[in-house]
Amino acid sequence: MSAATAVSCRALMITAPASGQGKTTVTAALAHWHRSRGRRVRVFKTGPDFLDPMVLECASGAPVQQLDLWMGGEAHCAELLYDAAIQADLILVEGVMGLHDGTPSSADLALRFGLPLLAVIDASAMAQTFGAVAHGLATYRAGLQLTGVLANRVGSSSHAQMLRESLPAGMTWYGTLPRGGNYGLPARHLGLVQAAEVGDMAERIAAAARALGENGELPIPPVVQFEAPLASDNLALPALLSGTTIAIARDAAFSFLYPANLDTLRALGARLCFFSPLANEPVPTAAQALYLPGGYPELHLQALANNTVTRQSVHAHHAAGRPLVAECGGMLALLETLSDKAGHSSPMMGLLPGQGVMTDRLVNLGMHSLMLPQGQVRGHTFHHGRIATTLPATLHTVAQRQQGRAEAVFHQGRLFASFMHLYFPSNPLAIAAMFKP
């Protein structure tokens, strides 16, 4: 593949001045609106996030990948965007937090790949200041292409008119999402409620798309040139996991799975099979390795306490000396007990000594790296849980943010457990060693 090869595709990053402005709702609505007009839409999420992509996948009908210049790297992001541009008519990228928040930020990603911006601003408590916020987003950093703004949670047509009139000359008005429509996205600790748990999610997205069409002026996003990855960045991974079957827990309690992690395991040659601890299913007998991802075990204490078949099969897997990787909620489920934030405690799988407790407050958040014999693996941590265990930590992660708090890593035979969510594409060779029987 030539480094000079490029492909054209219309693209737009949906950003905001802060979190909670409505980026996910607007991105999902735009994906639905364009799909309803026959366009092939691919959606990405900036930064580490499991919950927003579930909503965006429902809207776009395709898996939603992460774009993060630190966690995945520039070459990885370029490859994902290029591959999407080949297949799609439109690429939508939901930003993270505010436009300039974080290192790297949504602005960094937009500048690197030439992504034009649509700013979503919660206008519920402002009038003419709306224009000042839009002006600041457009001019704070040179090189950004703010193509327009959309006002969210607007109270009336007169309110919308005031907002529109406040915009600097030449700034495109995308319209509004009125306040109180049946398209709000419910949330809980860690973020949005999982899309599969919201029975009318498809209807909410469709309602938001209709509201955009009725109250907005939705121009077709600009064309962007996406360069092909360099040949050195596009090498096939060695099939280090050829012949290895990896069992992966996947249900409402264990759902924090990056599509790129699964793609990496497959590219390494592994065969993937899935099972549900909530349904008391055993680890598939063909599995030579086991992956327990994060999720919400604390919301399913009774079901997990009763899953004797799953518990026995996990113990048997570990006793046989097979690899077991447990992240965050997966690690909590391996403890002797887990208590929710209301104080209700239930027995868990009992493979790791100790207790887990959920708190009302965020315990740790941020990007982390971990040094393994095969090199550095990157990822992130985001949880409300604490654990008390007699098992000594064998390693600690390194927080990217200055004064960030490290996470303990526990090993017990071939068991690897930590609150850190690993991003497998950051070091596929290290991941292969972790899962290799």
239 in Cβ contact with 206 (< 8 Å): no
How many Å apart are CA 229 and CA 2, to the nearest integer? Answer: 8
> How would DSSP label each residue in 278-337?
TTTPPPPTT-SEEEE-BS-GGG-HHHHHT-HHHHHHHHHHHHTT--EEEETHHHHHHSSE
Task: Examine residue 104 and say whether the peptide bond preceding it is cis (omega within 30 degrees of 0).
Answer: yes
At 235 the pLDDT is: 67
> How many distinct structural domains can be found in the chain?
2
Comparing C-alpha atoms, which of 292, 426, 326, 331 is closest to residue 372?
Answer: 426
N-to-C CA span, the chain: 34
At 393 the pLDDT is: 97
369 in Cβ contact with 430 (< 8 Å): no
At 2 the pLDDT is: 42
Same domain, 57 and 164: yes
Q: Kindly state whether residue 384 falls inside one of the protein's structural domains.
A: yes
Q: Kindly state whether residue 1 falls inside one of the protein's structural domains.
A: no
Same domain, 285 and 155: no
How many Å apart are CA 406 and CA 385, to the nearest integer? Answer: 14
Same domain, 351 and 258: yes
Same domain, 336 and 384: yes
Contacts 24+ apart (CB under 8 A), 136-144: 136/17, 137/15, 137/17, 137/99, 138/168, 138/171, 140/100, 141/100, 141/107, 141/111, 143/111, 144/99, 144/107, 144/110, 144/111, 144/117
Beta bridge partners of 365: 382
How many Å apart are CA 320 and CA 356, to the nearest integer? Answer: 26
Q: Specify the CATH number for the domain of residue 255.
A: 3.40.50.880
Same domain, 368 and 392: yes
Same domain, 218 and 276: no
How many Å apart are CA 108 and CA 144, to the nearest integer? Answer: 9
Q: Kindly state whether residue 232 falls inside one of the protein's structural domains.
A: no
At 234 the pLDDT is: 56
Active site residue 273: no
Q: Position 92: which residue type?
A: L
Q: Kindly state whether residue 234 falls inside one of the protein's structural domains.
A: no
> How would DSSP label each residue in 74-88?
HHHHHHHHHHHHHH-
At 185 the pLDDT is: 84
Burial 314-353 (b: 16+ CB within 10 A, else e): beebbeeebbbbbbbbbbbbbbebbbbeeeeebebbebbe
Same domain, 219 and 254: no
**Pairing of β 337-339 and β 191-192:** unpaired
Same domain, 204 and 274: no
Beta bridge partners of 275: 249
Query: Which of 196, 227, 258 corresponds to the end of one domain?
Result: 227
Same domain, 208 and 273: no
Helix (H, G, I), strand (E, B) or coil at 260: helix
Query: Which of 207, 227, 247 corresponds to the end of one domain?
Result: 227
Query: Which of 227, 249, 264 corresponds to the end of one domain?
Result: 227
Structure tokens at 119: 């700013």
Q: Which segments in the chain show pLDDT lower than 50?
A: 1-3
> How would DSSP label each residue in 185-234?
--EETTEEPPGGG-TTHHHHHHHHHHHHHHHB--PPPPEEEEEPPPGGG-
Q: Kindly state whether residue 167 falls inside one of the protein's structural domains.
A: yes
pTM above 0.75, yes or no: yes
How many Å apart are CA 363 and CA 365, to the nearest integer? Answer: 7
At 401 the pLDDT is: 87
- Domain containing 16 equals 6-227
At 388 the pLDDT is: 95
How many Å apart are CA 75 and CA 201, to the nearest integer? Answer: 34
How many Å apart are CA 398 and CA 371, to the nearest integer? Answer: 8
313 in Cβ contact with 277 (< 8 Å): no
403 in Cβ contact with 360 (< 8 Å): no
Structure tokens at 201: 């999610």
Q: 76 exposed, middle or buried (CB, 10 Å; 0-12, 13-18, 19+)? A: buried
Q: Which of 9, 58, 77, 328 is catalytic?
A: 328
Same domain, 266 and 386: yes
**Pairing of β 289-292 and β 337-339:** unpaired
434 in Cβ contact with 242 (< 8 Å): no
